[in-house]
Amino acid sequence: MTLPQLPLNNGLAIPAIGLGTWKADRDDVARAVFTAITVGYRHIDCAAIYNNEREVGEALQRALQQRLVQRQQLWITSKLWNNAHLPQHVQPAAERSIKELGLDYLDLFLIHWPVSFRQDIVFPKKPDQYLPPDENRLLDTWRAMEKLVRKGLVRAIGVSNFTKSRLQMLMENAVIPPAVNQVECHPCLQQRHLLQYCKKEGIVLTAYSPLGSGDRPQKTRVKEGEPEILELPVITELAAQTGISPAQLLLAWGLARGTCVIPKSTKKERLKENLAAADISLAPEICRQLDTLDNGRRLISGTFFCEKGSPYTLDWIWQEPQG
């Protein structure tokens, strides 16, 4: 099995398949991460808000102590939560994740969302617990992210859930351009324009929820009776036609488009199955049929930041009207 790498704009390269740890229970995640490393994963996608970095760290330590891998063979990503956007809070937040993960440095640190909260709030319940929308604040956050690279705390920096306009704003003002934009991406939300822009600018697009996140907390924008993406008849049929699983079909398609994919699983057989997608090349006709499935179906829409009275709206987050 060859684990492909995607070159970044800073000379580093990121393994094109990573293990997602969002929604992985604390009870399961250490075993899942350790198993993932034993079956060949080298890229683990984490975040402070997933509330399981300590357990991920335990698995990393075990793998390192048992010499299954060396630290420099691993690619560990974490993300800055929305309550640490003010410049003075960025480094302490990065240091907290580094400590929880039991590491000396992160390979990649991302601004998780363009939405900002007060420092004492993990998830706002009242309007005054948000900081008002402010593009300039995001730029200040970025400048603090750049300092982390200079200090050697992180090797690369990037963003998540950023639109093309916000990336442009960073590209125009940054000293260190973002290496990665991590966004929801699967055949029903293909992010064509964003991907085209990212490729032009040398930014890697990492696809989160590449399998359609059937275990996501809010089953947003799925109509009554509408199947999950992995169960769409067209997906199961194309997978059967190719002799692979539906998950492998989605991941091989993501890899064929030059995106990085971070499927989440806590089950050994699925971890192996998902990683094996690296060796699958899809017939152009299969890719063409998948390309026709885009319907803008955003599963992780950010509605949880836009509850009544919030200064944020979906139109602001995505910078376009949300239907």
Interface residue with ligand A2P, options 112, 264, 297, 298 (CB under 6 A): 264
Beta strands in the chain (DSSP E): 5-7, 13-15, 19-20, 43-45, 75-80, 106-111, 154-160, 180-184, 204-208, 260-261
* Shortest Cβ 37–ligand A2P spacing (Å): 16
Contact 58, 81 (CB under 8 A): no
Is the torsion defined by CA of 234, 238, 240, 241 positive or negative? positive
Is the torsion defined by CA of 241, 244, 250, 251 positive or negative? negative
* Shortest Cβ 228–ligand A2P spacing (Å): 9
Measured between alpha carbons, how far is 166 from 309 in angstroms, rounded to an integer?
24
- Confirm or reject binding of residue 21 to ligand A2P (CB under 6 A): no
Interface residue with ligand A2P, options 35, 141, 190, 274 (CB under 6 A): 274
Interface residue with ligand A2P, options 230, 260, 300, 306 (CB under 6 A): 230
- Confirm or reject binding of residue 254 to ligand A2P (CB under 6 A): no
Reply yes or no on whether 50 is catalytic. yes
Measured between alpha carbons, how far is 6 from 16 in angstroms, rounded to an integer?
6
Interface residue with ligand A2P, options 77, 97, 141, 265 (CB under 6 A): 265
Measured between alpha carbons, how far is 14 from 100 in angstroms, rounded to an integer?
22
Q: DSSP class of residue 115?
A: -
Report the residue number, 47 or 230, with the smaller CB distance to ligand A2P.
Answer: 230
Q: With CB under 6 A, what is the number of residues at the site for ligand A2P? A: 19
- Confirm or reject binding of residue 238 to ligand A2P (CB under 6 A): no
Report the residue number, 58 or 184, with the smaller CB distance to ligand A2P.
Answer: 184
* Shortest Cβ 211–ligand A2P spacing (Å): 3
DSSP-assigned letters across all residues of 129-183: GBPPP-HHHHHHHHHHHHHHHHTTSEEEEEEES--HHHHHHHHHH-SS--SEEEE
Measured between alpha carbons, how far is 105 from 35 in angstroms, rounded to an integer?
22
For ligand A2P, the binding residues in 48-107 under the rule CB under 6 A are none
For ligand A2P, the binding residues in 179-218 under the rule CB under 6 A are 209-215
Interface residue with ligand A2P, options 247, 255, 282, 286 (CB under 6 A): 247
Binding span for ligand A2P by CB under 6 A among 5-13, 156-164, 233-241, 262-270: 262-270
Report the residue number, 181 or 274, with the smaller CB distance to ligand A2P.
Answer: 274
Contact 93, 80 (CB under 8 A): yes
Q: Report the candidate in 61, 101, 55, 45 with the shortest Cα–Cα distance to residue 274.
A: 45
* Shortest Cβ 236–ligand A2P spacing (Å): 11
Report the residue number, 193 or 267, with the smaller CB distance to ligand A2P.
Answer: 267
* Shortest Cβ 314–ligand A2P spacing (Å): 20
List all residues 6 or more positions away from 186 whose beta carbon is below 8 Å from its beta carbon.
207, 209, 210, 211, 212, 229, 250, 254
Catalytic residue among 50, 197, 208, 312: 50
Give the active site residues.
50
Binding stretches for ligand A2P (CB under 6 A): 20, 209-215, 230, 245, 247, 263-267, 270, 273-274
